[in-house]
């Protein structure tokens, strides 16, 4: 009887913590309309940035409390949902799947799907590069390694000091944001962002990241396709070469010219 009550308590703790994290992810996503109109109204980029900063700041203030409720109060009990969700944010899984989608669509003559897959791949690559750069520059300690939430070691290349932002979450939200923009279907948007949010939750649940790492990853992932859209518009106006995407016998290859 006591054991069942403990399970129920741990589940309720997890639900409460998820409800704390969800509004912060939602705040980041609410900037979508502003980001979408950034080209026509440059001031909207400021609104988007402010919303993202507010979400990250709010998460930072709740880092310790959310960790207590998501991980510590659940005594580190294994979570199959968290383990599965975590795999969905791995770059080494996302890129081959996207590359295969692109190649199949291209062979079938479905240019719309092929182009969409290429855009998703570009978002994942750019998001991953930006994430790695920020991790190394900021050097935030991971919660599972005994670090405090305000413990930073700038210019650190050790994995235990590369917590901010969450790379899994960046990849998941880069995919979700790009797929949503390519599909233009409400149910696709809901499914994409719901799945990405589960990836972010899994990183806190498994004590790999602070909640603010996850929110920062979401903001970075959402921003990535918008940056690429403006860059493509510049290229379309004669700025230079277009990006290329291919699935070769040696693996998936993406070429993104920078100038």
Per-position pLDDT tens, the chain of length 259? 444 444 343 444 445 555 555 555 555 555 444 444 444 454 566 677 777 788 888 888 888 888 887 776 566 556 677 777 778 888 889 999 999 999 999 999 999 999 999 999 999 999 999 999 999 898 888 887 777 788 888 887 776 688 899 999 999 999 999 999 998 899 999 999 999 998 998 888 888 899 999 999 999 999 899 888 888 887 777 655 555 544 444 444 445 554 4
Query: Domain 2-255 falls in which CATH fold?
Result: Vanadium-containing Chloroperoxidase; domain 1 (1.20.144)
221 closest CA partner among 251, 192, 246, 247: 192
Give the Cα separation of 171 and 192 in Å (integer).
12
User: Does residue 254 contact residue 243 with C-beta atoms inside 8 Å?
Assistant: yes
18, 208 in Cβ contact below 8 A?
no
> 165: how many CB neighbours lie within 10 A of its CB?
28
Who's near 25: CB < 8 A, 6+ residues apart?
Answer: 55, 197, 200, 214, 215, 218
What does DSSP say about strands 251-255 and 244-248: parallel, antiparallel, or unpaired?
antiparallel
Model's pTM, two decimal places? 0.76
Q: Which of 46, 20, 42 is nearest to 31 (CA)?
A: 46
Report whether 124 contacts 91 (CB < 8 A).
Answer: yes
> What's the start-to-end Cα distance of the chain, in Å?
65
């Amino acid at each position: 009887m006591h054991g069942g009550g403990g399970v129920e308590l741990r589940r309720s703790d997890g639900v409460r913590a998820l409800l704390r994290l969800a509004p912060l992810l939602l705040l980041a996503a609410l900037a979508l309309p502003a980001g979408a109109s950034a080209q026509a109204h440059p001031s909207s980029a400021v609104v988007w940035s402010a919303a993202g900063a507010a979400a990250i700041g709010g998460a930072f203030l709740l880092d310790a409390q959310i960790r207590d409720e998501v991980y510590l109060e659940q005594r580190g009990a294994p979570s199959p949902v968290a383990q599965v969700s975590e795999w969905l944010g791995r770059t080494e899984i996302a890129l081959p799947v996207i590359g295969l989608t692109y190649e199949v669509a291209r062979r079938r003559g479905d240019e719309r799907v092929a182009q969409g897959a290429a855009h998703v791949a570009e978002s994942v690559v750019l998001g991953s590069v930006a994430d790695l750069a920020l991790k190394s520059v900021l050097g935030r300690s991971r919660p599972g390694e005994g670090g405090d939430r305000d413990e930073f070691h700038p210019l650190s290349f050790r994995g235990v000091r590369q917590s901010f932002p969450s790379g899994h979450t960046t990849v998941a939200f880069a995919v979700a944001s790009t797929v949503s923009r390519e599909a233009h279907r409400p149910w696709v948007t809901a499914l994409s962002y719901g799945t990405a949010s589960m990836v972010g939750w899994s990183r806190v649940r498994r004590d790999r990241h602070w909640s603010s790492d996850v929110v920062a990853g979401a903001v970075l992932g959402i921003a990535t396709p918008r940056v690429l859209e403006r860059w493509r518009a510049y290229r379309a106006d004669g700025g230079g070469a277009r990006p290329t995407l291919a699935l070769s016998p040696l693996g998936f290859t993406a070429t993104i010219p920078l100038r």
